[in-house]
Chain A
Amino acid sequence: EVQLVESGGGLVQPGGSLRLSCAASEFTFSKYWMGWVRQAPGKGLEWVASTKQDETEKYYVDSAKGRFTISRDNARNSLYLQMNSLRAEDTAVYYCVRDWMVGTFDYWGQGIVVTVSS
């Protein structure tokens, strides 16, 4: 069974940085686009970023551009999200997702909580 396990979340002050990791298993990681989707408390889903298999294409929601960087290590079957200049509105559960058809998310991690607060 496909597994996606996020780590690296927690409490950070406004303006701070955090790096999320996602460990993937039970599928050929290097063959899939991957992405991050977040959900603020009590709110809906918001796509954050996606990366092509070889990182030659990366896309971000406008609010993440210039602050967040998505990356991957195919040798380690891992996906990352480097988040800088964090704001209160970045507080959310962040989900690692397997992007099956360039924008169709067929597997989701359990989510990791990021809280931006002083």
Chain B
Amino acid sequence: ETVLTQSPATLSLSPGERATLSCRASQSVTSFLAWYQQKPGQAPRLLIYDAVNRATGIPARFSGSGSGTDFTLTISSLEPEDFAVYYCQQRNSWPITFGQGTRLEIK
């Protein structure tokens, strides 16, 4: 099983700042990594797929990078609606696994 480790667990930033979230895989997942955003009481929403591709309707301030075992989700300039929990997820091998999440909170 591929274990995904996200860091930091919590990130405290202010609107307008740049956010950098990390996801490290216990073995290579090539580029088969996605990022999701989840707000309280809501279902997750797909942001990035296959490491670097924005999903339909996702603003350009969200970008993904990385390959192999190290991945990054960057939010270039935080908007108030971006404060949420973010999960990475790999589809390179079964079972599909998620990271434990990074909570992005308002400083």
Contact = CB atoms under 8 A, between A and B. Distances in A.
Indicate whether A and B interact: yes
Nearest to B1: A62
Given A45-B38, A50-B96, A59-B94, 12 more contacts: A37-B44, A44-B100, A44-B101, A45-B36, A45-B87, A47-B95, A95-B44, A103-B89, A104-B46, A105-B44, A108-B44, A108-B45
A44 B91 contact: no
B99 A44 contact: yes
Contacts of B94: 59
Interface string B64-93: 000000000000000000000001011100
Contacts, number: 60
Secondary structure dominating the interface of B: loop
Nearest to A4: B43
Contacts of B101: 44-45
B49 interface: yes
A61 interface: yes
Contacts of B99: 44
A104 B50 contact: yes
B12 to A, nearest CB: 19
A109 interface: yes
Contacts of A61: 95
Interface of B: 1, 32, 34, 36, 38, 43-46, 49-50, 55-56, 87, 89-91, 94-101
Contacts of B89: 45, 47, 103, 105
Interface string A16-39: 000000000000000000000100
Listed from nearest, the 9 A-B pairs whose CB atoms lie closest are A103-B91, A108-B43, A47-B96, A45-B98, A104-B49, A44-B101, A59-B94, A44-B100, A106-B46
A54 interface: no
Contacts of A60: 95
